[in-house]
Amino acid sequence: MSFLGKSFLDTDSLHPEQISILFDKAKKLRSKPYLSPKGKTVALIFFEPSTRTRSSFEMAAVRLGCHVLNLDPTRSSVSKGETVLDTVLNIEAMGPDCMVIRHSSGGVPALLSRNLKVPVINAGDGMRGHPTQALLDAFTILEERKRIEGERVLFVGDISHSRVARSNFQLLSKLGATLGICSPSTLIPPHLAAKGFKIFSKLEEALEWATVCMALRMQTERQESFQVPSMKEFSARFGLTPEKLKYLSNEAIILHPGPVNQGIEISQTVMHDPRTKILSQVRNGVFVRAALLSEILGVEV
Ligand code: CP
């Protein structure tokens, strides 16, 4: 049950009690000043671009009084042909206490963790998972809606290629939310209907049903071919606009893991709608990640 010294690779293995421990600690950290230096180092190794996750882990580590070692693989010896495993083994030999790893291929953080002695945190692996994003999303739902059990959480957009959706499906169903999806049929994994997801073809009906709406970016970098007739058509049917939001309750919230493609899955006006909590997600992410790091590293809060 304890996170101490262990890797954190997916949401599937999380027990609801562990989630409560993390969320309670995240709340505690939010009201605390930065902690004094702890003599611990967190290595951030991102083999794929990131704005939010990398900076959020860096802020989280700094808040806990940890040092941060930032490796930029595009400037590392990976670009000279060194393997990913050799790179992380060399970083491990320098003595960090934990490694936060992102990679464009699913399973790489798990594979590396089996070859490393230090704990590894999965910061997103291909289309497979983004467990800390799901944790901060669940924390934001709890903060904004005061519960997760019984919430009707709608995912809109590219479900097939979204690691955020996969991790959220695992975590939120474990916590008792009902899940719905609204997406072009080419972007819905066929097995989801069998798993009890509510599937909507009309966004208006989906928004009337939802208490939480999470918009997802069209992940063109992961699609083998373009899977909707045009971005304009996708946006007209599945984009969140002020007209579409008339169907969403005033008490509901809108989330997006970022990066946002304004004008495609979400309009600029909707970004400023009071129901939109995207920057709260980002803010919460620092404390949720700090809570996770403190548990894994054994940093007293
Ligand atoms: N949400 C998220 O993973 O964003 P980044 O790609 O900027 O880290």
Hey, what's the torsion of the CAs at 297, 22, 10, 175, to 10 degrees?
Answer: 170
Alpha carbon nearest to ligand 1 atom 5, residue: 50
Q: Is the CB of 48 under 6 A from ligand 1?
A: no
C-alpha 166/C-alpha 145 separation (Å) is: 22
Alpha carbon nearest to ligand 1 atom 3, residue: 53
Alpha carbon nearest to ligand 1 atom 6, residue: 50
Residue-wise pLDDT tens digits, 15-74: 999 999 999 999 999 999 999 998 999 999 999 999 999 999 999 999 999 999 999 887
Q: Is the CB of 129 under 6 A from ligand 1?
A: no
- Indicate whether 220 pLDDT > 80: no
Distance 49 CA to ligand 1 centre (A): 8
The pTM for the full model equals 0.95
- Indicate whether 97 pLDDT > 90: yes
Distance 279 CA to ligand 1 centre (A): 13
Q: Is the CB of 95 under 6 A from ligand 1?
A: no
* Mean of per-residue pLDDT scores for the chain: 94
Closest by alpha carbon to 215, among 278, 142, 149, 131? 278
Average pLDDT rounded to a whole number, residues 253-269? 95
What are the distances in angstroms from CA 32 to CA 25, 29, 139?
A: 11, 5, 18
Average pLDDT rounded to a whole number, residues 261-278? 96
Q: Which two three-digit tokens encode residue 171?
A: 């975590």
C-alpha 37/C-alpha 56 separation (Å) is: 18
CA angle 257, 262, 265 (to 5 degrees): 65
Residues with Cβ within 8 Å of residue 32, at least 6 apart in sequence: 301
Task: Check: CB of residue 270 under 8 Å from CB of residue 117.
Answer: no
Average pLDDT rounded to a whole number, residues 125-140? 97
Mutate to test the pocket of ligand 1, among 48, 51, 255, 284 (most ligand atoms within 8 A of CB): 51
Distance 51 CA to ligand 1 centre (A): 6
Residue-wise pLDDT tens digits, 58-77: 999 999 999 999 998 877 77
Alpha carbon nearest to ligand 1 atom 4, residue: 52
Q: Is the CB of 162 under 6 A from ligand 1?
A: no
Q: Is the CB of 183 under 6 A from ligand 1?
A: no
Q: Is the CB of 242 under 6 A from ligand 1?
A: no
Residue-wise pLDDT tens digits, 151-192: 999 999 999 899 999 999 999 999 999 999 999 888 888 787
Mutate to test the pocket of ligand 1, among 46, 102, 104, 133 (most ligand atoms within 8 A of CB): 133
- Indicate whether 227 pLDDT > 70: no
Closest by alpha carbon to 163, among 184, 119, 138, 132? 132
C-alpha 140/C-alpha 288 separation (Å) is: 10
